[in-house]
Amino acid sequence: MSKCYICECEISPDNSYKEHIILNSIGGRLKSSSLICNRCAPHFDGIDAALGKQLNTIGLVLDIKRDRYKNPYTKAKIVSTGEEVSLISGGKIVPIKPTIDVRYDGDNAYLSVSTRDENQMREALNGLKRNHPWIDVQELISHAIKRQESIDSPIQYQLTFGGDEAFRAICKMATSFYIYKGGERNHISHLIPYIKYGELNNSVWYYYPENITNLNSENIEVLHTLFLVGNPNEKTLYAYIELFSTLKFIVLLSERYTGKEYQEFYSFDIIGQKIIDKVIDINLSRDEVLKVIQLQENKLQQIQNSLRCLFKTINNKQIYESLSKEVENVIENFFKDIPQDTVFTKEMSSELAVECTDKIAALLHEKGFFNQE
């Protein structure tokens, strides 16, 4: 029988709780019902929500998959006009407020409504119907046209990270992973008051090892990674954590560790939705771990560089997805009016290739692909 590593009660079907070791709100899939009971779990809602809120924008533009709920919209601004918009899944933008125009020309009425989705359109039309009873809401919705428009101007949005609550959530990831991998509670019990209540404890800080490179934008692979090291000879137990292959941390779980010597590893590709093998070459001495935690050196430059690589990867992902969709549309339109029994000739093949190439080149130019550094 498993025990809750927070309160040490026995976990049963009546009090079990499915704990996401890496938050579901940022695309985490690693979870267990043998870590925390349902009475203790609510104590961590605040810190988990704080971390999830800070990283929501990254999840939005990556269009990550979650077990439940959708990624909430976030505010953004079109730089050239200053117009505030909503950033939604996949990095798409939609208006925050509906645009409504009602015009009369004699006995004729003309209505134009632009909204971000069907729910907002229904709400806007129901509001209009109070003053314009002739409006047939369902009829108008059924004839509404979905469309996408390209915007030449850059989009500006705020991305912040850090603070006590976020670091406590990071620490909980490390302790949960340690217990999940068979670790003993007594080696991390001193961290529970910090995770639960925020009692003063220096255990988490940014760490950017030189031998671990940033994202490879050609492969479009973005990882959540947990790496655990126990070294009884140096009495250290620590974790290395990467979120979105970008935000990187060392978590000192114990500087009085006397357990077994081991390494545990987990890495999940949130785009490919698969667990992957990855070689992590981090073997820090006790002094090196303590230096990271105690000195808390400024890592702003490393964080900025990593974020720059991440958003270049995201941009390439969006370009590749757009290319795939456009090529599918070209092929579908090409064959739409051709009878099924038509022999596909070399000339037709060349014509289709030219159409696809022209579409790809135009899209790459529109997305600024040829202007990337």
Give me the residue spans of the domains in the chain: 19-56+160-297, 85-153, 301-371
Task: Specify the pLDDT at position 156.
Answer: 75
Q: Are 205 and 258 in contact (CB under 8 A)?
A: no
- The whole-number pLDDT of residue 289 equals 95
d(CA 14, CA 1): 13
Distance (Å, whole) CA 52 – CA 56? 6
Share of the chain above pLDDT 90, in %: 42
pTM over the 0.85 mark: no
| pLDDT for residue 366 is more than 70 | no
Average pLDDT for 341-353: 78
**Residue 184 to residue 12: CA distance in whole angstroms:** 20
Residue 75 — pLDDT band, cuts 50, 70, 90?
Answer: confident
Residue 65 pLDDT > 60, yes or no? Answer: yes
pLDDT digits (tens, 9 = 90+) for 99-156: 777 777 777 777 777 777 778 888 888 888 787 787 788 887 887 777 665 566 677 7
Mean pLDDT of 337-365: 74
Q: Would you state the pLDDT for residue 234?
A: 95
320 or 21: whose pLDDT is higher? 21
Q: Which residue has the higher pLDDT, 325 or 14?
A: 14
Task: Dump pLDDT digits (tens) for 196-246.
Answer: 998 777 899 999 988 776 666 566 688 999 999 999 999 999 999 999 999
| Residue bearing tokens 């490179």 | 213
* pLDDT tens-digit map of 164-181: 999 999 999 999 999 999
pLDDT at position 351 is 79
Q: Average pLDDT, stretch 329-348?
A: 78
83 pLDDT above the threshold of 70: yes
Proportion of the chain above pLDDT 70, given as a percent:
88
β-strands 223-231, 108-114: how paired? unpaired
CA distance 231 to 324: 48
pLDDT at 147: 65
Give the residue with greater pLDDT, 272 vs 97: 272
Whether residue 54 has pLDDT greater than 80: yes
